[in-house]
Amino acid sequence: MKNKLNILMTIENYPIYGGSGITTRRFATSLAKRGHNVAVVCPGENIIHKIDIDTESDVIVYRLSSLLLPSFLYKETRISPFPMNYMKYIFKEFNPDIDMNPKSWTQTYLS
């Protein structure tokens, strides 16, 4: 591919459950199959940061340290209370050309 892009996406769950997680995975997989480098940032399963590769799609998955919250909507809800330093690391490491994160992430944590 001539113009290979680094594309960074943020989601609250990947690809565990819910429409947004499934849709993000399909979109990320589609972009990766077109030759782009795609990374997804989401809460992890414990208090340790982790980097995975989604082997079905070759998407890099940065899992932020997170805490489990009680929830009535899903069987499991996790939040990353202090992602600022790790998000800075991800931006430096991955160097995205396109940042598909909510505006609040980039303004709050990377300013």
The pLDDT assigned to 47 comes to 85
What is the model's pLDDT at position 95? 93
Residue 83, classified by CB atoms within 10 Å of its CB into exposed (0-12), middle (13-18) or buried (19+), is buried
- Supply 20's token pair: 């947004």
Q: What is the dihedral of CA 8, 22, 65, 93, to 10 degrees?
A: -20
Q: Decide which of 3.40.50, 2.60.40, 3.30.43, 3.40.1350 is the CATH code for 6-110.
A: 3.40.50
**Per residue of the chain (111 residues), what is the pLDDT tens digit?**
578 999 999 887 777 667 778 888 899 999 999 999 999 998 888 888 899 998 888 999 999 998 887 766 666 777 788 788 888 899 999 999 988 876 544 444 454
Predicted pLDDT at 1: 55
